Structure 1
């Protein structure tokens, strides 16, 4: 279904976003005012803000709220979409060919923890930390939730998913992650991540991990 297909794509924003900064002995926070949007972003060179930016990202608060298309437009060099198709395309005609444009009326909320994407640069690489203290996301306890909605009246739909980094020793078989003891965690969502819960309006809960619900079950 459309809402299930596009949730797979939202995960890649974590890997696409980068910021520029310099290291100090205590690490760099957004409040320091020196972490900036990366090269190629529409806001390239501008400092990250505490609170929501024009696209709907709140990196300090580990949250995104807004149009699905705005989760990606900035990374592609486009300004934020504000709901007026005609006016936006008049100024940014190439946006109509962006792969997210058909989903501009889909509302998206993402929440994540510090292991998924931190609000600090503590390792000195000039970017907000990912899986800080771990070589990869595996076993890091990283998680995110995605809540999407769209349509109106009888056509109204909602989709919710809980996504976690898999635990140490997990094995992927036929696009599904399993614990070392063989217990199913959930389908692959993006590399080292699995969906442990999926809920659709009307259908109700469509997936519950055999390894258990609850994001805390997957934290170290």
Structure 2
């Protein structure tokens, strides 16, 4: 059975929390770009009032300019997608995940998110990609898809896949205080997991009509 512990943070809502890697991830250094006012001043604000990645002047969490397409770490902010590894989530290719080591570091991780979770525009003028406009809170939905290998207690190499959907539901959610897991799929035969583990009664990507329509 694959047992992992990871550090993850939800920017603008929570401090650092520790979650099992089976829980959905929103890495603060990944899905939330971090730029300064200087970059906005140099480029000038577009006439539309919103800056896009194509316009230039937006930065990632390490201070690098955001560009179209996938970057070297696996982030494609324009397409609302990450396709990389746990190692590359923190935007430092050092064989670690936020400074932590483990056999999961090279496991494949793919994330997709809605525009309300993290937009591909800056309409607030702070040099960052917006999370639900000025609220700074990730709403909408996020999915995680993980695939990797591990060595079991008998020394045998095992393979696993994991998938989860989460949605914003407002205050009172059981995950991070404002979110809910609505579907979880775990395929880890050696660990005794075979397929769908949980699915909420709500259809689509949400527990209310607004997110279900996206």
Note if contact 2:89-2:97 (Cα within 8 Å) is conserved in structure 1: no
Q: How much is the aligned-residue C-alpha RMSD, in angstroms?
A: 2.9
| C-alpha distance in 2 between matches for 1:102 and 1:53 | 24
- Name the residue aligned to 1:53: 71
TM-score by length of 2: 0.70
| C-alpha distance in 2 between matches for 1:155 and 1:51 | 33
Secondary structure of the 1:34 match is coil
TM-score by length of 1: 0.68
TM-fit CA distance, 1:208: 1.3
- Name the residue aligned to 2:34: 18
- Name the residue aligned to 1:181: none
Assess, with a 3 A threshold, how the Cα gap between structure 1 residues 9 and 19 changes in structure 2: closer, same or farther: farther
- Name the residue aligned to 1:164: 167
Assess, with a 3 A threshold, how the Cα gap between structure 1 residues 209 and 116 changes in structure 2: closer, same or farther: same
- Name the residue aligned to 2:13: none
Higher relative helix content: 1
Assess, with a 3 A threshold, how the Cα gap between structure 1 residues 101 and 120 changes in structure 2: closer, same or farther: farther
- Name the residue aligned to 2:146: 148
| C-alpha distance in 2 between matches for 1:36 and 1:215 | 29
Structure 1 residues 115-169: Cα deviation after superposition (integer angstroms, max 9, x where no partner): 00011001112110001265744xx4x10100001117961111100010015xx
**Which segment is superposed worse, 151-160 or 124-133?**
151-160
- Name the residue aligned to 2:20: 5
| C-alpha distance in 1 between matches for 2:33 and 2:206 | 26
Note if contact 2:32-2:118 (Cα within 8 Å) is conserved in structure 1: no
- Name the residue aligned to 2:85: 67
1:191 paired residue among 177, 197, 202: 177
- Name the residue aligned to 2:117: 116
Assess, with a 3 A threshold, how the Cα gap between structure 1 residues 218 and 99 changes in structure 2: closer, same or farther: farther
TM-fit CA distance, 1:64: 0.3
1:204 paired residue among 195, 205, 209: 195
Task: Give unmatched runs, 5+ long, in structure 2.
Answer: 5-18, 151-155, 188-192
Secondary structure of the 1:199 match is strand
Note if contact 1:69-1:100 (Cα within 8 Å) is conserved in structure 2: no
TM-fit CA distance, 1:103: 2.4
| C-alpha distance in 2 between matches for 1:118 and 1:96 | 25
- Name the residue aligned to 1:126: 127
Secondary structure of the 1:70 match is helix
Structure 1 residues 55-85: Cα deviation after superposition (integer angstroms, max 9, x where no partner): 000001100001111111x2xxx3x35xxx6
Note if contact 1:63-1:110 (Cα within 8 Å) is conserved in structure 2: yes
| C-alpha distance in 2 between matches for 1:96 and 1:219 | 36
Task: Give unmatched runs, 5+ long, in structure 1.
Answer: 86-94, 178-186
